Amino acid sequence: MRRFTDRYGARPAHLVGCTACLALAAYAASFLLGDPALPRVLAWFVGAAVVHDLVLFPLCALVDRALTRLPRAPVPLVNHVRVPLLGAGLTFCVFLPGIVRQGEATHLAATGLDQQPYLGRWLGLVAAMAAVSALVYLVRWAVTTRSAAGG
């Protein structure tokens, strides 16, 4: 076991998990073979990887570096910015087709509703996440400063 871990760099369970994930991805990708939408799917996949690697990741790293270099406060601000931004980004990825009204005719036929409210509701959700995070920060800051002043 030690020899395997030294050569591979992780335990055998890691290799089994990675192999299972690759097998599942290959199985899902096999459904696209012969599908006329395959070039579009590949273009979206490559485009998403390029945008993530060349734009989003460096931007996130820059913002994170700037937040961690802020002057030391009684309560660190970093996670109170990270969490709502992560929530905004993930919900944007999930609801992107509705927000940009892609597939509006299909959505209307399937649900009887249009996609008009998606953007407003997503913005409301992002504002609520930011407000809750700010409220939690203020409560933590008040408790910390009160206990520091009293003790």
Q: Give the pLDDT confidence of 47-74 residue by residue, as tens digits.
A: 999 999 999 899 989 988 988 888 888 8
Domain shared by 113 and 82, yes or no: yes
Domain shared by 64 and 78, yes or no: no
Whole-number pLDDT of residue 71: 84
Q: What total of structural domains would you count in the chain? A: 3
Q: Are 88 and 126 in contact (CB under 8 A)?
A: yes
Domain shared by 48 and 101, yes or no: no
Q: Which domain holds residue 90?
A: 71-151
Domain shared by 87 and 59, yes or no: no
User: Angle CA(101)–CA(63)–CA(121) in degrees, nearest 5?
Assistant: 25
Amino acid at 41: V
Domain shared by 147 and 84, yes or no: yes
Domain shared by 16 and 40, yes or no: no
Domain shared by 41 and 18, yes or no: no
Domain shared by 8 and 48, yes or no: no
Q: Are 41 and 32 in contact (CB under 8 A)?
A: yes
d(CA 107, CA 145): 51
Domain shared by 145 and 135, yes or no: yes
Residue with tokens 């030690």: 2
The whole-model pTM stands at: 0.67
d(CA 71, CA 142): 18
Domain shared by 75 and 64, yes or no: no
User: Is the predicted pLDDT of residue 151 greater than 70, yes or no?
Assistant: no
d(CA 123, CA 104): 19
150: tokens are: 């009293």
Domain shared by 89 and 140, yes or no: yes
Domain shared by 138 and 92, yes or no: yes
